[in-house]
Amino acid sequence: MRPGMLIGVRKGAEVFKSVCEAWSISATVSESTGQVTVNQTVNLLRNKAASGVSA
C-alpha cells in the first residue's frame, strides 16, 4: 500500500472507494513474553458522494 492507491472500504453491506493519503506500520516485542504486536494505520480521503453528502 502506498499514497495515491485506491482502497475498497466495507461499511456493513456497502463498499466504498477511498484514496490512501498516508499509512504507517510499527511493531513492538514484549521483553517478558516475546510476543510481537504489529500496528498498521491507514489515512484515507473520503469520497463525498459515498458519505451521503452531495456535491
Q: CA–CA separation, 35 vs 27, rounded Å?
A: 10
Residue 49 grid coordinates = 458522494
Residues in the chain: 55
Q: What pLDDT does 2 receive?
A: 86
Nine cell digits for residue 22: 498516508
Kindly state the cell numbers that stand for 30.
Answer: 514484549
Question: What are the residue boundaries of the structural domains of the chain, listed by start?
Answer: 5-46
Query: What pLDDT score was predicted for residue 40?
Result: 94
CA distances from 27 to 8, 19, 41 (A): 25, 25, 12
Poorest-confidence range of 9-13, 14-18, 30-34, 51-55? 51-55
- 21-55, pLDDT tens digit by residue? 999 999 999 999 999 999 999 999 876 655 554 44
Residue 20's pLDDT is 92
